Every structure is written in C-alpha cells, then in structure tokens.
Amino acid sequence: MNASLDSFKYDDAIVRKFLVATFVWGLVGMLVGLFIALQLAVPSFNVAPFLTFGRLRPLHTNAVIFAFAGNAFFTGCYYSSQRLLKARMFSDLLSRLHFWGWQLIIVSAAVTLPLGFTQAKEYAELEWPIDIMIAVVWVIFAVNFFGTIAKRRERHLYVALWFYIASIITVAILHIFNNLSIPVGPLKSYSIYAGVQDAFMQWWYGHNAVAFFLTTPFLGLMYYFMPKAANKPVYSYRLSIVHFWTLVFMYIWAGPHHLHYTALPEWASTLGMVFSVMLWMPSWGGMINGLLTLRGAWHKVVEDPVLKFFVVAVTAYGMATFEGPMLSIKSVNALAHYTDWIIAHVHTGALGWNGFLTFGMIYWLLPRLFQTKLYSTKLAELHFWLATFGMILYAVAIYSAGLTQGLMWRAFDETGRLQFPDFIETTMKLMPMYWVRAVGGGLYIIGMLLFGWNILKTWAARPKVYDEPVIQAAPLKVQAHKPEPSLHRRWEGLPLVFSLLTALAVIVASLFEIIPTFLIRTNIPTIASVKPYTPLELAGRDLYIREGCFNCHSQMIRPFRYETERYGEYSKPGESVYDHPFLWGSRRIGPDLAREGGKYPDLWHVRHMQDPRSITQKSIMPPYPGLLTSTIDFAGIQKRVDVMAMLGVPYGDAVTQKKAAEMAKAQAKEMAAGIAAQGGPAGLEDKEITALVAYLQRLGQDIKQATGVAHHAAPADGGM
Amino acid sequence: MLRLSDIVSHSGLAIYAEVALVLFLLVFVGVVISVVRPGSKAQLDAASRIPFNDEPAAAPSEEKRS
C-alpha cells in the first residue's frame, strides 16, 4: 500500500516571503494614501514635483491593488493551492522568479510613477517596459500554478481553485489588451486606441481589474480560509458553484457603467448597467455562503480575531456589491459620477473586503507558517477595532463628501442659474470631511502598525529550523477512477478544458461588447471640424499626462443642463478621435476642462500654473512653478508626431516634411510673445508652460468654432 | 477607401450576439441543473471537505475521497 504513495513537502518558505511583502507594501501604499488625502486638505503638502497629488495618486492605487492585495492573493494562493492539490508547487525556481519579479515590478512602479512616467489609464498607468515585465511574471505564475494542477494528487478541483484559475486567465487577457501601445521612447508610449474606444477598453479593463484582481482571487481565499478558520465546510458547495459561474459570465460585461452619460454609445452603457444590476444576485449569494459558513460557530467569533476580520470582510463585500449595482443605475450614477462617492465605494471594498480578509487570513497563517503561537491575540483584537472604526470614519466622511458635492454641482437657484457657479465653493465644503477621512485612514494605519508588530514578534519566536512535515498521498493514476456521473464533475476533472471554458466565456463576452465600437462606424460619428493637435499642443498634452492632471480634472461634459451651464456644450464622441490615450478622467477634484480652451487668456494660465492660489485663493491645486523654467523637448516632438501618424492621426506636412519641431517652435514663439505682451514673464518660447497652455487653450475649441455655440464669459473670480 | 469597419458593419454579425446569449444561458442552466439534481449531494459534500483533507486529525468529518 505504502509503495503506491508519494512522499513530498509543501513549500511554505515562499508563502512566508509573500506574507512579509504583503505587509510591507500594504503599509507603504496606505501611507501614500494618507499623504495624498492630506494634500487635498493642505495643498502645501505638494512639496516637490515628484510628490504632487497627480503623480502620487496612481502610486497609491497601484500600491494597494497590485502590491498589497496582489501579494496577499499570492500568499493565500501558494498556501492553499499546494494543500488543495496535495502537491508541492510545480517549480521552486518559478515560485522564486514570481516572487522577486513581482517585487521588482512594484519597485519599478514606485520609481517611475513619481517621476511622471504614466500611460494615463487608471490602474494601468505603468509604462510599456513594466507592462511587459508584468506579462512575463504573470506567465511564470500561471505556468507554476497550472503545472501544480497537472501534478496534483486530488482529482477534484476545490472551488477556491476555480476562482484562482479564472483570475489568472482573465487578468492576463485584460492586461495585454488594455496596454497595447506603440512606444515613443524608453518610458513613453501612446495607446493604440483613441477616444471612445480607448475609454471602452480602459473601463472594460478597469472594472474587471476590480473583478478579477480584487474580487475573484479573494473569493477563492474566502472559500478556503473561512471554512478552515471556522473548522466547518462551506455552507453550500452548490451555491459556490453557481456563484462562480454567474460571476464569470456576468462580470466581464459590466465595465461600461463607468462611462454613463459620456460619449460612449448608449447601448453599451445600458448593457453595462443591466449586467451590473444582475451581478448583485451572485455577489450576495457568495456573501451569504460566507457568512452562513459560520453557522453554529458564532460563539467563536467573540474570541477569535481571525473570524472577526472575516465576518467584517464578507459583510463589506456584501455592502460593496450592493452599492456597485446601485451606482451602475444611470440616474444614481449621474449624481455619484466624478464625486467622492466613488472613492468611498472603492474604499469599502479595498479597506473592508480586501484589507480585512487579508488581515484575517494572515493572523490565521502566522502561527502555522512560523510554527509558534501568535504573539498577541489582544493586539490583533485592538487592530480589528482600530481598523473597523477607522474604516467607518473614512466611509461616513467620504460618502457625505460625495453626496454634498454631487448635489451642489446640480443645484439651481430660483432664477434658474447655477446656485454654486464657482467650483471652488463646492470644494471648500468638503474640507471638514477630508480631515475626518485623514483621521479614519490614520486609525486604519495605526492598526496596520500593530499588525506589523504582531508579525515581527511572532516571526522572532519562530523555531531555529522549520519543521517540514512529509505528506503522503497517492498519485492520481493509481487512485481508483470512478466514472463521474455529473457533467460538471467531469469538466472539473479536466482542468485544461475547464480553464478553456472559463477563458472562452470571458473572451466571447469581451468581443461582443468591444468589437462593435471598433468596427461599426455609426457608433462614433466623425466631426469634420475636429483636427489633430498641433505638435506643440501634443507636447503639452504629454505634460498634462506626466503631471497626472487627469487624476483631478475630467474632460467629458455630460449632457445635463447643470453640466452645460457650468462647462459649456456637452462632449461628443467625435471630439476625441485623436486622443491616444483618452483623458476623460473619472473624478472632478477640480473642474472639467473639456471646454477650457479660450475661457481665459494665456497669461491667466501661466500665473495659475505657477501659483494657483494667486488666482483662486482657496484652490487646492498643486503649484507647478517648475514648468516656467524647464525647457520643451523640441527634438523629441517629431518622434511623437510620427507615432501618432502611425496610429492614423492625419498630421500631413508635420510628418511627411519632418516639420513638427519647426512648427512647434513657431507656435511657441508666437504664444510667448503674446504672454510677454500681456505683461507676463518674457522668454517662455522654449519653456514647458507654453506647450501646456497651448494644449489647454485648444481643449474643446474645434466644436466651438464649428457650431458657433455661444459660451459663458469667465466667472468673475477668474479675472486677472 | 474601403475600411474594415465597412466590411464588418455590413456582414450581419449581429445575430451572433444572440447566438452567444443563448449558448451562455444554456451552459448556465446546465450548471444549475447539474448542481441541484438529486444525487449530487454526496459528491458536493465530499468536495466541500477537501480543505480539511490535509490535516486528518482536525477533519470535521471522517468521510474522504480516495
């Protein structure tokens, strides 16, 4: 009998590595979050160009999503997969390459984002060399994971593994297609998609990054660690199967709800809304399944911090997945879009669901991985309460901020004019809530520090040499193979077929949603008066991207009266056909800029960029005095224009005669003379500010000229 | 100039979306039927205990596959 058994050991060293990385990057990501939260309340915290809000905000999101949640998923995945499959990971070398490769990616992100290298697409900001690195490391992870499945000694794939499989496959597809771009330089590229198509691709990716990086992997973790911690099988395995397939079928369609009332075709928006609302059902099925796993074990929740964290995590999942479908309903979205409500929504998910699930999982793992008792259960309890209280403060404050600003934007007075025509009024109203948010986030981080202390002290008490138990299990081929009566059971016995089916569901859905916008002309009517940016404006646009202006300013006016009153004619799909990448934005910390061109004189913009508070006293925008001294890279402009032309932007002479730099210089010279004549600083003809202002002055102009729409004069406070 | 978009918009692909919808629905209904059909209970229970197979002493139930 024993002769037919394999003997092997689990690789827990790799799990320990990922665990430590989870904590370290989690702390870094959260500290950056706290810092940028404070920058909104105290703009003088924007101390240097590489520490401005626009450059740090993507660092925060990338750090918490890919570094914190990513490493947390890998921790749990490596621990649980080996045990569920009764096999050591396929290759120790691949495990190490995965670990160190992923950390290298994170470090590259932490360096390049503050330096202003960004693709300007949310959660896909990292530039093309890092994108290639991510793809390679992801493939390494996939080979390692599927290799382990191939040599498994447990025929049936437990439901947690399906969630891992779906996540691994889908993230690969999303990452590759959203990041397709043409390099312009070593750390600069232009998306191959433009305008509406780029927006559609981005939010197909963006929403599914939430779905397949922050939801399905963590559901897999929930389905393994929750039963383990409660010492009870999952409440309903049946429900977990239905949960899985419904999520895989539906999630991929939901992305367009991020683009309601934008220039996206309405059918896509409606499709996204319908699927998002339907998603409520399977999500709550999963939540109920998680909570009911604790049936008969509720008394343990009182004394066990692990279960406490899990209960709040699953509850937060339930709240976020109720709110998500609600926010995807167009009329609710009209109020919430561009406001802090969305920020509150993601933080319920990130702090509550991902954070708490990670904390619970790690507290459960610590004694097992370091083979000693958890240093302090009391500290873990304290961590739980601090994190819970911090999260509530954060959520209450930022929900209020979102509702407040959303309602103020749309308020009209009795004469039918905007009640708060000055954008800054709506910003000032949020200040108290921004402070409460900072306190809430601070508490959460203090909890994180206690967490770190507990990890450190538990680690310190580890044995000199880890005990590595030898596991024995029969290889699959000698296990009696009974024919499976049910079709679904037979699929799962064939991981390859199962994976292909999952991939197929995801790809088919994606194609049906995306292809029409690319290939059916009537979806994006062209506008004859819309012309490409001049070479100088293009250089300015790249500065707008470098500084991350899109993090706070949208360029997408929705067709509502309160929007057109405030910003001008609503945005048309045909207006952004040359925008590689699109810059519609998703949050208005400052006003929309889609029709900024021509609203103010050039000099106003120069002064405003130099010191925003000299123009608008209470402005919370970072100052950019450096733009007045740094010089435009005229030599690099030709290459940029050439790549744009390669992507189909009709640049004519600028490309065929190689005149881009010459044209840019001529335009800059003319603008600089104008600025000097208005009484501004002289000698700006080769300074970056000129390119940026040229871009800002172009925004929205093509349509204005064509239709002759009358526009409102600059608000009184905007005068010089 | 003849563009790809002209070809695609005139090739009548719209029907495929409906076909895909029906296929997806059928697969989903199949999954649901296969999990709720009588007789699946024992297997599902066994599957739900897989996480406990690695530590025989702590397993909440003695029933195990293979």
A263-304 pLDDT, tens digit per residue, is 888 888 998 999 999 999 999 999 999 999 998 888 899 899
For chain B, helix (H) and strand (E) counts, in that order, are 3, 0
The pLDDT of residue B2 is above 60: no
The verdict on residue B13 lying in a domain is: yes
In this structure, what token pair is assigned to residue A423?
């954008």
CB-based contact (8 Å) between A476 and chain B? no
Q: Of A45-59, A293-307, A492-506, A575-589, which range is least confident?
A: A492-506
pLDDT of residue B57: 44
Q: What is the mean pLDDT of residues A502-526?
A: 71
Note whether A238 contacts B60, CB cutoff 8 Å.
no
Of A480, A488, A518, the CB nearest to B66: A480
pLDDT, position A709: 43
Find chain A residues with C-beta within 8 A of B44's C-beta: 237-238, 241
Residue A418 forms beta bridges with which residues? A412
Residue B64 has pLDDT above 60, yes or no: no
In this predicted structure, the answer to whether residue A490 has a pLDDT above a threshold of 80 is: no
Cross-chain residue pair A519–B8, CB shorter than 8 Å = yes
**Residues of A with Cβ-Cβ distance to B65 under 8 angstroms:** 154-156
How much is the pLDDT for A463? 95
Taking 50 as the threshold, does the pLDDT of residue A717 lie above it?
Answer: no
Res A265: pLDDT:
85
Residue A2 has pLDDT above 90, yes or no: no
Confirm whether B28 is domain-assigned.
Answer: yes
3-state secondary structure of A191: strand
| Partner residue opposite A486 with nearest CB, options B34, B52, B54 | B34
For A547-601, write each residue's pLDDT tens digit: 999 999 999 999 999 999 999 999 998 999 999 999 999 999 999 999 999 999 9
Which pLDDT band holds residue A135 (cuts at 50, 70, 90)?
Answer: very high
Tokens standing for residue A326: 């609600």
Residue A488 has pLDDT above 80, yes or no: no
Residue A112 confidence (pLDDT): 97
Mean pLDDT throughout A638-648?
A: 93
B30's CB contacts (< 8 A; 6+ apart) are A487, A488
CB contact under 8 A, B20 and A508: yes
At position A696, the amino acid (one-letter code) is L
CB atoms B51 and A160 under 8 Å:
yes
Tokens, residue A332: 């609710």
| B contact residues 12-51, partner A, Cβ 8 Å cutoff | 13, 16-17, 20, 24, 27-28, 30-32, 34-37, 39-40, 43-51
Which of A604, A668, A601 is CA-nearest to residue A632? A668
Q: Which of A133-147, A344-358, A468-482 has the lowest mean pLDDT?
A: A468-482
Domain edges within chain A: 2-476+497-511, 535-718
Question: A2-476+497-511 in CATH: which number?
Answer: 1.20.210.10
Q: Please, which pLDDT band fits residue A720 given cuts at 50, 70 and 90? A: very low
Q: Which member of A245, A508, A515 has the closest CB to residue B31?
A: A245
| Across A156-165, A432-441, A471-480, least confident range | A471-480
Q: Of the candidates B4, B36, B61, which has its C-beta nearest A519's C-beta?
A: B4
Average pLDDT, chain A: 91
Q: Could you tell me if B1 lies within 8 Å of chain A, comparing CB atoms?
A: no
CA pair distance A669, A256, nearest whole angstrom: 43
The number of domains in chain B is: 1
Average pLDDT over residues A502-524: 70
pLDDT of residue A626 exceeding 50: yes
CATH T-level fold of A535-718? Cytochrome Bc1 Complex; Chain D, domain 2 (1.10.760)
Chain B residues touching A237 at Cβ < 8 A: 44-45, 47-48
Task: Return the pLDDT at A713.
Answer: 40
Average pLDDT on A337-352 reads: 96
pLDDT at A57: 97
Residue at token pair 């989690």: A26
| Residue B62 vs residue A226, higher pLDDT | A226
Distance CA A350, CA A368 (A): 26
B contacts of A231 (beta carbons < 8 Å)? 52, 58, 60
SS (H, E, C) A553-603: CCCCCCCCHHHHHHHCCCCCHHHHCCCCCCCCCCECCCCCCCCCCCCCCHH
pLDDT confidence bin for B4, thresholds 50/70/90: low
pLDDT band at B62, cuts 50/70/90? very low
Mean pLDDT of A174-180: 91
Task: Judge: A512–B20 Cβ closer than 8 Å, yes or no.
Answer: yes
Q: Which residues of B touch A227 (CB under 8 A)?
A: 48, 51-52
Contact A519 B49 (CB under 8 A): no
pLDDT of the residue at B30: 86
Give the gap in angstroms from C-alpha B19 to the nearest C-alpha of chain A.
Answer: 11
Residue B30 in domain:
yes
Nearest beta carbon to residue B47 from set A158, A232, A520: A158
A8 touches chain B (CB under 8 A): no
Which of A86, A480, A488 is opposite residue B35, by nearest beta carbon? A488
Quote the pLDDT of residue B5.
Answer: 61
CA distance A40 to A696: 23
Query: Are the C-beta atoms of B25 and B18 separated by less than 8 Å?
Result: no
Residue B64 located in a structural domain: no
Q: What gap in Å lies between CA A160 and CA A503, rounded to an integer?
A: 17
pLDDT of residue A163: 94
At A436-458, the pLDDT tens digits run 999 999 999 999 999 999 999 99
Query: Are B20 and A158 inside 8 Å of each other by CB?
Result: no
Q: Look up the domain containing B23 and give its range.
A: 4-58
